[in-house]
Amino acid sequence: MKRTVFVQPLSWVTLSILTVIGISSPLVLAAPVKVSRYSPQQSAQKQPQKLAQFSETNQPERSQLLQQAQALYEQENWTGAEENLRKFTKKFPKDAFGHFQLGNVLVRQGKSEAAISSYQEAIRLQSQYALAYNAIGAVYASQNRWEEAITEYQKALEINPDYGDALANLGEALWQTNKRDEAKASLEKALNIFKAQSRNQRVYQVERMLQQMKSSDDPGVS
């Protein structure tokens, strides 16, 4: 009987570059959030990372607080960034982006349940927040709660069927639950999207994942 082969999760890489969906201002997150039990060092993770880029038309106070949070994040001052973002969410309680960013900082500190709560608050405020659904799924994946992760990834994909990072994460979760054909289909779709977007690091990562899957399906594996 062929043994189950658990491949290296993609969750730790697919949250590193995320595009905000479903909010009015053009916000981009590029946060190297590692939520998996694996922590391999990749050259891509050594590149400068930004917590947020935001529109100049935002309120000055809002922009200032986000800039402060970004600076603290880049310094890996997670406690300071959390404190700043809690001030932000208290000042702007209906700002979904602030709650989402707070969730990311909480993840970096290993505060998984608090992070999920922050992501859920972002979704409550902005129901089409695909990024937050994907982030919740990745936290569940880090806890081996694969079925729950699948549910969250699917919610993200209902909002944006071409969300490459959610497709890649979904492929991992499906593989971990032995849904191999579905896993490969999801990863192959993600691969095509990443190629079209010229996201070469993602292309490499997903191709490597697919190769691991192919190797584990080799009849010689006992």
Determine contact, residues 150/137, Cβ cutoff 8 Å: yes
More confident residue, 205 or 4: 205
- Between 144 and 29, the higher pLDDT residue: 144
**What are 184-196's pLDDT values in tens digits?**
999 999 999 999 9
- The pLDDT of residue 178 is above 60: yes
Task: Compute the distance between CA of residue 137 and CA of residue 172 in angstroms, rounded to an integer.
Answer: 11
Rounded CA-CA distance 76/186 in Å is 33
Indicate whether 221 belongs to any domain.
no
Q: Is 159 part of a structural domain of the chain?
A: yes
Whether 6 is covered by a domain: the verdict is: no
C-alpha 102/C-alpha 5 separation (Å) is: 35
> In whole angstroms, what separates CA 120 from the centre of its chain?
14
Enter the DSSP assignment of 146.
Answer: H
Q: Is the pLDDT of residue 128 over 80?
A: yes
The answer to the question of residue 122 being in a domain is yes
The answer as to whether 222 is a domain residue is no
Asked whether residue 3 is domain-assigned, the answer is no
Q: Does residue 2 lie within any of the structural domains?
A: no
For residue 14, pLDDT over 70 is answered with no
* Per-residue pLDDT tens digits for 46-90: 333 344 444 444 478 888 888 899 899 999 999 999 999 999 999
Q: Which residue has the tokens 């990834």?
A: 153
> Is there a contact between 50 and 157 (Cβ–Cβ < 8 Å)?
no
- Look at the chain and report how many structural domains it folds into: 1
Domain CATH number, residue 51: 1.25.40.10
Whether 23 maps to a domain, the answer reads yes
HSE toward the beta carbon, residue 194, CA cutoff 13 A: 23
pLDDT digits (tens, 9 = 90+) for 146-171: 999 999 999 999 999 999 999 999 99
CA distance to 172, 173, 175, 210, per residue, from 221 (Å):
20, 21, 17, 16
Q: Which of 24-28, 57-61, 93-97, 177-181 has the lowest mean pLDDT?
A: 24-28
- Residue 217 pLDDT level (bands cut at 50, 70, 90): confident
Is 0.85 surpassed by the pTM of this model? no
What residues make up the domain containing 189? 11-216
33 has pLDDT over 50: no
